[in-house]
Amino acid sequence: MSALISNFLEPISYLVYALTLLLYGRADRSGKIKVLFFYYALATLLMSYASWSIIYLKNTVESNNNWAYNVLYFLTIFFLSFYMYKTFLHIKSKIITLSLLLINITNFFLNDLIFKQRLFDSFVSSIAVLSLIALIFLYFQQVLSHVGEHNILLTFDFWLLSGYLLYFLGSFFIIMSWSHLSAKLNGNPTAAQMEQFDILWGMHNLLLFISALVTFIGTIWIRRYQRKLS
Amino acid sequence: MDQTLPKEVILIIIICIFLLIVGVGIIILVLVYQKRQLQYLREREQLKVTFEREILESRLEIQEQTFKNISQEIHDNIGQVLSLAKLNINTMDGNDPVDLQEKIRDSSELVGKAIRDLRDLSKSMNTDFVAEIGLLKAVEYELGLLKKASPYNTSLRVDGMPVHLPAQQELILFRIFQEALNNIIKHARASHIAAQFLFQPHQLVMKLTDDGQGFDAGAYLAKSVPPNSLGIRNMQNRARLVRADFKIESNMPSGTTVTVCVPLTAKTTST
């Protein structure tokens, strides 16, 4: 069970996200939903590879699946920034989104492509996570300053971004400290240490799964309400 | 094995759980705040609807009151004047040129008076006359009508620099004034009615005082307003609509004073 959580819950969570978007996309065919679905489909493939590679990779500095995670965080900030850009109403929020995206792209290119970071890059990833948390707060600020007649619980964006907040805020410390903890092991972890790492990554995966579930439940809720109306 | 690792792992897990709880808290806060905002917007909308309904009711009541005044005016004044003119015409004697001349002149004056009175009446037939002529003129006109058609002695005093309030606010205030005036006519047994408008920098104080028999206002207001006393309740409700303070003071047998204090906003204009 713990192996499932620490190794395979991640692609499952991304798959839940992809399926949720496919479900919601039947009612909302907007471009941003299609792009987000594409991202989750890509993330599911990437994380499936990362999960299966654990079985045959020795997880050394030369041979590991860390590149997949570094690429995933780049894709995450890129696609979610696009989604947020499309969601924001104010030009100021859009400019902040683009600025944060630019910072993250520069950060990724400098650290992961030019300096060829082979370990999981906590610095780049945590900056990406912080940027996304800031964008989520911007969205909540937008929601509260534009209160309309509609129920916020019937808004897909609210469920999606609430899920993101739980995941990104909850897993921020795991992502931030991962490089530091890996460096302590000096490349030769004991079985007990590996187990602790598994627990930590399992916690991360659990948070991701909770956030996917929140979005899924929200989508079901919205669709049920729409069906009642029609 | 490095002994510091488990402690760090536990610490990170605790921080993660704490941040997760913070995240849940933020979402709940957003939801609660949004719900309250929504409730506030709905209440504001409801208040707007009530305000519009009251405005409409006020218009209808003013119209009704105006028709009553017109009917009374036609019966008591114009009717009498025209009857007198008719009597003059009927009693004209062609053989007495001096008397004929006098009767023609009298009839002409009477018809002229009737025309003037009709012109005054036609002004008040317009239901938007409060908006057109302003609150002070409307009050002055109303007191003038009362003075002419009844034994009441009326007076109007204006202190300070008069300003125009928004049309709907003036309509509501005029309706409160009419209601208070009606109460005096119906119950007070007064001989003098005094209206006073005091324009202060931040508020307008409208007072209507009579020297009638009064009533025990303290005891009356201590109880909830009885359902049959719709007049006072209407005045209170309408004052609330324009964010005005409504006060009624009375002591038996020294008359009654109704005071309405309306805050003046930037929308007011000097006359």
Across the interface, whether the CB atoms of B37 and A181 are under 8 A apart is answered no
Query: B31, A143: Cβ pair inside 8 Å?
Result: no
E strand or H helix at A52: helix A31-56
CA–CA distance, A60 with A142 (Å, rounded to integer): 45
pLDDT at A39: 94
Q: Would you list which residues of chain B are within 8 Å, Cβ to Cβ, of chain A?
A: 1-2, 4-6, 8-9, 12-13, 15-17, 19-20, 22-24, 26-27, 30-31, 33-34, 37-38, 41
- What ipTM does the predicted assembly reach? 0.85
Q: Which residues pair with B159 in a beta bridge?
A: B198
Structure tokens at B150: 């009844």
Contact A170 B27 (CB under 8 A): no
Rounded to the nearest angstrom, the minimum Cα separation between B17 and chain A is 7
Q: Please check whether residue B73 is in contact with residue B121, taking contact to mean a CB–CB distance below 8 angstroms.
A: yes
Is there a contact between B13 and A200 if contact means CB atoms under 8 Å apart?
yes
Q: Which residue has the higher pLDDT, B1 or A116?
A: A116
Q: Distance from A170 to chain B by nearest Cα, in Å?
A: 5
A144 pLDDT tier (thresholds 50, 70, 90): confident
Kindly state whether A98 is in contact with chain B, defined as any CB-CB distance less than 8 angstroms: no
A15-57, pLDDT tens digit by residue?
A: 999 999 999 988 888 889 999 999 999 999 999 988 888 776 6
Q: Which residues lie below 8 Å from residue B15, measured CB to CB, with a gap of 6+?
A: A173
Instruction: Output the pLDDT for position B1.
Output: 43
Write down the pLDDT at residue B270. 59
DSSP state of A30: -
Nearest residue to A79 (alpha-carbon basis) of A16, A18, A169: A18
Mean pLDDT value across chain A? 86
| A171 touching B (Cβ < 8 Å) | yes
CA distances from B23 to A83, B18, B30, B63, B183 (A): 21, 9, 11, 60, 61
Q: Tell me the pLDDT tens digit for each residue of B83-115.
A: 888 888 888 877 888 888 888 888 888 898 888
Task: Check residue A169 and give its pLDDT.
Answer: 93
| Surface-to-core class of residue B220, CB atoms within 10 Å of its CB (0-12 exposed, 13-18 middle, 19+ buried) | middle
Q: Which two tokens stand for residue A207?
A: 């948070």
Which residues on chain A are in Cβ contact (under 8 Å) with B33? 144
Q: What is the mean pLDDT of residues A163-192?
A: 83
What tens digit of pLDDT does each residue of A43-96 get?
A: 999 999 888 887 766 555 555 677 788 888 889 999 999 999 999 999 999 999
Which residue reads 């008076």 in tokens?
Answer: B113
What local confidence, expressed as pLDDT, does residue B268 receive? Answer: 61
Contact residues, chain A, for B23 at CB < 8 Å: 165-166, 169-170
Minimal Cα–Cα distance from B25 to chain A, Å? 10
Which contacts (CB < 8 Å, 24+ apart) does range B81-89 have? B81/B110, B81/B111, B81/B113, B81/B114, B81/B117, B82/B110, B82/B111, B82/B114, B84/B110, B85/B110, B85/B111, B85/B114
Q: Which residues of A touch B32 (CB under 8 A)?
A: none
Residue B124: predicted pLDDT: 61
Spell out, as residue ranges, where chain B has pLDDT lower than 70.
1-5, 123-128, 149, 218-230, 266-271
Q: Is A25 on the interface with B (CB under 8 A)?
A: no
Cα–Cα distance, B36 to A207 (Å, whole number): 30
Across the interface, do B22 and A169 touch by the CB < 8 Å criterion?
yes
Contacts of A171 in chain B (CB under 8 A): 16
The Cα B113–Cα B53 span in angstroms is 39
Q: Nearest by CB to B41, from A140, A147, A200: name it.
A: A147
Tell which of B10, B19, B22 to mutate to test the A interface (max A CBs under 10 Å): B19
**By three-state DSSP, how is residue B201 classified?**
coil
Task: List chain B residues with CB under 8 Å of A147.
Answer: 34, 37-38, 41
What number of C-beta contacts closer than 8 Å exist between A and B? 70
* Inter-CA distances, A93 with A81, A134, A161, Å: 11, 10, 15
Nearest to A147 among B1, B19, B38 (CB): B38
Strand order in the sheet with B192-199: B153-159, B192-199, B203-210, B256-263, B245-250
CA-wise closest residue to B89 among B108, B116, B112, B114: B108
CA distances from residue B76 to A191, B68, B212 in whole angstroms, order as listed: 111, 12, 25
Q: What is the arithmetic mean of pLDDT over A179-192?
A: 75
Could A169 and B33 be called an inter-chain contact, meaning their C-beta atoms sit closer than 8 Å?
A: no
Contact residues, chain B, for A206 at CB < 8 Å: none
